[in-house]
Structure 1
Amino acid sequence: MAAFGHTFPFYADPKPTFPMDTTLSVIITIFLTALVTFIIILPGIRGKTRLFWLLRVVTSLFIGAVILAVNFSSEWSVGQVSTNTSYKAFSSERISANVGLQVGLGGVNITLTGIPVHQLNETINYNEEFTWHLGGNYAEEYTKALEKGLPDPVLYLAEKFTPRSPCGLYNQYRLAGHYSSAMLWVAFLCWLLANVMLSMPVLIYGGHMLLAAGIFQLLALLFFSMATSFSAHCPLRLGTAVLRTHHGPAFWITLTTGLLCVLLGLVMVVAHRMQPHRLKAFFNQSAEDLTLKWSPEEGELLSPRYRFMAESPEPQDIPLSETSSEVCCKEKHPKDSDCAL
């Protein structure tokens, strides 16, 4: 393009960006809607059960929302720097801007915001995403970015994560993101099973599933930490500054939720051994084991019923007819002549 009138590569007007990731917005909206629904029906619950029920619902929804949201978050490893750097290829113009890098389980997100935003007769506000999950071709997306003529800082950071980059960041983060995402999906499944079991008289298994959900979340953090520990040998230089990354909010909130699940699971296991009656009372379950009773009238399978002597009906005197009374009398007193009278 520079061959025609010395025109610098351009990029179309920045797309209007939503202030939050749309996937995370949908997840948060769904769980908030569920929370509001449970709060609406809260006045229908009486006594202390209302407080216990609200605590269980809020805790469970928080854990489920976190496990699902961090799987799609791009803030596992973040970094930001203010620098004075070049803006476009074939141009000596430099800009002052904030450059941000966000690494998630499925790709990287690069932001470029001018200080001020309007410089060189342009609006410098870019937010570009490059993905590698679900069969995405990162190299192809990078090639398209080159064809668009994205700013130099964006292309420089995106090039560091290409498969052919000598930094090797692509293979590290891609594998770590793949296994971390798998662990989080297993943790989400354990959370679902825990909710099902805690609503049934099998609280100990619900505690085990909650403990497993926390362990799988911690395993996801372990896989991702292994990738970041090997990425410190590739400095990211932008103009006069160096961009350094650190664990982001998604990493820390996953750590908090994982430890919370492990703690709650251990508490339930200990409470089941030490105070099973209080544990059942907390989950609004009767302390006594209930025995199911079926009756033929209900169309269920027949099962034997056993009753104690106290529950047996008292014997009743049933009058006999004259013929049957005479037969009975003769059997008991064969020589008595009064039986025929």
Structure 2
Amino acid sequence: NPRPHTPKSGKRKGGFGRRVFLPKPTHPVTQRVFWLLRVVTSLFIGAVILAVNFSSEWFVGQVSTNTSYKAFSSKWISADVGLQVGLGGVNITLTGIPVQQLNETINYNEEFTWRLGENYAEGYAKALEKGLPDPVLYLAEKFTPNSPCGLHGQYRLAGHYTSATLWVAFLCWLLANVMLSMPVLVYGGHMLLATGVFQLLGLLFFSTATSLTPPCPLRLGTATLHTHHGPAFWITLTTGLLCVLLGLAMAVAHRMHPQRLKAFFTQSSGEDPAPEWNPEEGGLLSPRYRSTAESPEPQDIPLSEASSEACCKKEHPREPDCTL
């Protein structure tokens, strides 16, 4: 007798017009790569927001010059003078070329801050009492509130507003990570977009406030110090544009192919995607499926004559003749 047909393992037979669930295999290496890419990108964005908020390289400048060393002295030195303007203050460096000159070690790194609760004028007064070199005091004096250059008010205001918007961007980044891990993808994409928008808004505040001040010449001995936007400004711009692009991409993907976006994030997190019905495409989108029309049809298996007679005797014991 032919063997009865049994469906293959891993398939589930449904009724007419129904679809059969077939798990979509995903390579574990691919899952790890997707997960690693998400984690590295997210950590990079958060680390940049924190780092630039405390960085002093938003506006920088450096020059090599021959300048006077200290007040009431006719001796000159050859040195590198650097200026770094951050969101919370000014950092001034003075390094001799060579470092040992005039029987002294010329290597200074002084910070003057205007954060909340700190007085820039008091810090400058303490520097005068310590007798710091002339190049350091000259640059620090340009950022005092009473300086005719007017740099203190503009840079202090720009630093406060930029720092506030960056903290809001950091909060949006935290919310984006929480929502993407739940996963609430559409709101996570919106929070990621808001993270980039607040970073770009902080750059706009900083650039606008600093551009309102006319350029103030910074002459140090035989050279002039020129300033420009530093690494903190450009890396914030890059990160902000990256967040905006990722947020827009997620919003567009959720608008056009929400199930594929969900399958992508579910795959990258290493979870098995649940089958969902997509009315637009008429069936399961992820994982794969197979209709019963494509599955092998059950075959009619004829029974032998002896087995049919035995079956009839069991069902009808009183009837002598039993025919099919």
Asked if Structure 1 and Structure 2 have the same fold, meaning a TM-score greater than 0.5 normalized by the shorter chain, the answer is: yes
After superposing the two structures, state which structure 1 stretch, 133-142 or 181-190, moved more: 133-142
Higher relative contact order (Cα pairs below 8 Å, separated by 6+ residues): 2
**Separation of aligned partners in 2, 1:275 and 1:101:** 51
Q: CA deviation at 1:233?
A: 2.5
1:242 equivalent in alignment to 2:224: yes
Give the corresponding residue for 1:158: 140
The one-letter amino acid paired with 1:153 is P
Give the corresponding residue for 1:55: 37
TM-score w.r.t. length of structure 2: 0.74
8 Å CA contact 1:49–1:282 kept in 2: the answer is: no
The one-letter amino acid paired with 1:209 is M
The one-letter amino acid paired with 1:271 is A
Q: What number of residue pairs does the alignment pair up?
A: 246
CA separation of 1:231 and 1:95: change in aligned 2, threshold 3 A: farther
Give the corresponding residue for 1:119: 101
Q: CA deviation at 1:202?
A: 1.3
**Separation of aligned partners in 1, 2:213 and 2:62:** 16
1:297-308 → structure 2 map (5 Å cutoff)? none
The one-letter amino acid paired with 2:78 is S
Where does structure 2 lack aligned partners over 5 or more consecutive residues?
1-26, 278-324
8 Å CA contact 1:85–1:96 kept in 2: the answer is: yes
The one-letter amino acid paired with 2:55 is S
Q: C-alpha deviations, 1:111-154, integer Å up to 9, x for none? A: 00011111101110000000000211100000000000000000
1:146-185 → structure 2 map (5 Å cutoff)? 146-185=128-167
The one-letter amino acid paired with 2:45 is I
Aligned equivalent of 1:218, options 200, 212, 226:
200
Give the corresponding residue for 1:87: 69
Aligned equivalent of 1:202, options 184, 191, 194:
184
Q: CA deviation at 1:61?
A: 0.1
8 Å CA contact 2:158–2:210 kept in 1: the answer is: no
The one-letter amino acid paired with 2:69 is Y
The runs of 4+ residues in structure 1 deviating greater than 6 Å are none
Give the corresponding residue for 1:229: 211
The one-letter amino acid paired with 1:274 is M
**Separation of aligned partners in 2, 1:225 and 1:288:** 50
**Separation of aligned partners in 2, 1:206 and 1:289:** 21
Identity of aligned residues (%): 83
Q: C-alpha deviations, 1:221-258, integer Å up to 9, x for none? A: 01111133134431111111111100000000000000
**Separation of aligned partners in 2, 1:116 and 1:288:** 71
8 Å CA contact 1:277–1:287 kept in 2: the answer is: no
1:272 equivalent in alignment to 2:272: no
**Separation of aligned partners in 1, 2:119 and 2:74:** 32
1:12-27 → structure 2 map (5 Å cutoff)? none
Give the corresponding residue for 1:106: 88
Aligned equivalent of 1:188, options 166, 170, 180:
170
SS in 2 for 1:133: coil
SS in 2 for 1:150: coil
Alignment RMSD (CA, Å): 1.5
8 Å CA contact 1:77–1:248 kept in 2: the answer is: yes
Q: C-alpha deviations, 1:43-93, integer Å up to 9, x for none? A: xx9342211111100000000000011000000000001111000011000
Give the corresponding residue for 1:301: none
SS in 2 for 1:48: helix
Where does structure 1 lack aligned partners over 5 or more consecutive residues?
1-44, 291-341
8 Å CA contact 2:67–2:76 kept in 1: the answer is: yes
SS in 1 for 2:195: helix
8 Å CA contact 1:76–1:104 kept in 2: the answer is: yes
Q: CA deviation at 1:274?
A: 1.7
Give the corresponding residue for 1:332: none
SS in 1 for 2:194: helix
Aligned equivalent of 1:96, options 72, 78, 81:
78
**Separation of aligned partners in 1, 2:89 and 2:231:** 16
Higher percent of residues as helix: 1
Give the corresponding residue for 1:37: none
Q: C-alpha deviations, 1:233-288, integer Å up to 9, x for none? A: 31111111111100000000000000000000000001111222221122116354
The one-letter amino acid paired with 1:281 is A
The one-letter amino acid paired with 2:173 is W
TM-score w.r.t. length of structure 1: 0.70
After superposing the two structures, state which structure 1 stretch, 268-277 or 142-151, moved more: 268-277
**Separation of aligned partners in 2, 1:288 and 1:180:** 46
SS in 2 for 1:79: strand
**Separation of aligned partners in 2, 1:66 and 1:48:** 27
